Amino acid sequence: MIERSLFNADHEAFRDSFRRFVEKEITPFHEAWEEQGYVDREVWRKAGENGFLCMTMPEEYGGAGADKLYSVAQMEEIAHAGVTGIGYGLHSEIVAPYILHYGTEEQKRKYLPKLASGEMVGAIAMSEPAAGSDLQGVKTTAIKQADGSYLLNGSKTFITNGWHADLVIVVAKTDPAAGAKGTSLMLVEQGMPGFSKGKRLKKMGMKAQDTSELFFDNVKVPAENLLGGQAFEGRGFICLMEQLPWERLQIAIGAVAAAQAAIDWTVQYVKDRKVFGQPVANYQNTRYTLAELQTEVQVARVFVDKCCELICQDKLDTATASMAKYWCSDLQCKVMDECVQLHGGYGYMWEYPITRAYADARVQRIYGGTNEIMKEVISRGMGLGGR
């Protein structure tokens, strides 16, 4: 295997520390969380106490001022352990960065320390019943009132961390007639009158991750809760597009780590499992299948590591991030399918990690923009127009 050069000794020390946290505070409880449909709130507070939330936020806002590679190591450990109920990545590396990059000073000081401590759980509400990858098609509105506040109406669905969320960044139209140029981002807090949470959605996989519907019925959002203040009214779509490369790369990072975990589990299984008097690993088909999968995952890891270098230099473009997201999530699903097959009947039993990983993987090709949308983005970057 190619030795990775992405991380330094400090990154690896952090990885070891977080791995121990996962082994102690997450893995022993994850099966029970899958049954109840959400992780216990306490695991957020413990993560905050240990400095495992919002590490890349500046120290003045409660973070550690760390580079993104600390978050990459954390994402890999979560994916490799198969503890997909944990929503730290979205909280720390999607929600918090929106506030850091676009928020007013008041918004940064109000929310970032609470996100870093785990006192608040963050979510971002983009998808709607009739608008998924097509963010320009959102119907939720936030109409400005005479007193400067906004009246928020609409609904969102498939919202990760939605049930636990204390703070939601809501994508809404402040000027419905202006299309994408009329999109703004609203900071909606738990407890605002008219803001309610629907049922926790029962999913094919990621069963411990709380995924909810959110409803906004004449929610009065103060003017100071427009992300970025008045200067950012109508600039929400631009903000979303600027953050997409990092968001999509995060999916690729998890995909490669999960695929490698599946290969590792399967290698051990085929060594132990005997069929017709000999280990499954002794059969040529088994060896060739795993050799092919490991080759492809190695190729993907080298590509993703290069993308991680680029994101740390603010040089990762949207098309390349889309390549990473689509290629690696497709590969993840392929690896899971082949590894389930090599497990035989046990690969269909929920008690086996590979079975849960198979179910967890499928959504990777859908969220963050479907893989079909990724191919559209890539092709446009090549100068190929569509209708």
Annotated catalytic residues are 247
Beta bridge partners of 151: 143, 220
Secondary structure in 3-state letters for the chain: CCCCCCCCHHHHHHHHHHHHHHHHHHHHHHHHHHHHCCCCCHHHHHHHHCCCCCCCCCHHHCCCCCCHHHHHHHHHHHHHHCCCCCCHHHHHHHHHHHHHHHCCHHHHHHHHHHHHHCCCCEEEECCECCECCCHHHCCCEEEECCCCCEEEEEEEEEEECCCCCCEEEEEEECCHHHHHHHEEEEEEECCCCCEEEEEECCCCCCCCCCEEEEEEEEEEECHHHECCCHHHCCCHHHHHHHHHHHHHHHHHHHHHHHHHHHHHHHHHHHHHCEECCEEHHHCHHHHHHHHHHHHHHHHHHHHHHHHHHHHHCCCCCHHHHHHHHHHHHHHHHHHHHHHHHHHHHHHHCCCCHHHHHHHHHHHHHCCCCCHHHHHHHHHHHCCCCCC
What does the alpha-carbon distance between residue 357 and residue 355 come to, in Å, rounded to a whole number?
5
Pair of tokens at residue 14: 């952090």
Q: Are 125 and 169 in contact (CB under 8 A)?
A: yes
Residue 205's CB is within 10 A of a number of other CB atoms, namely: 18
What does the alpha-carbon distance between residue 285 and residue 365 come to, in Å, rounded to a whole number?
28
Query: Residue 176 — φ and ψ, nearest 5°?
Result: -55, -30
What does the alpha-carbon distance between residue 124 and residue 108 come to, in Å, rounded to a whole number?
16
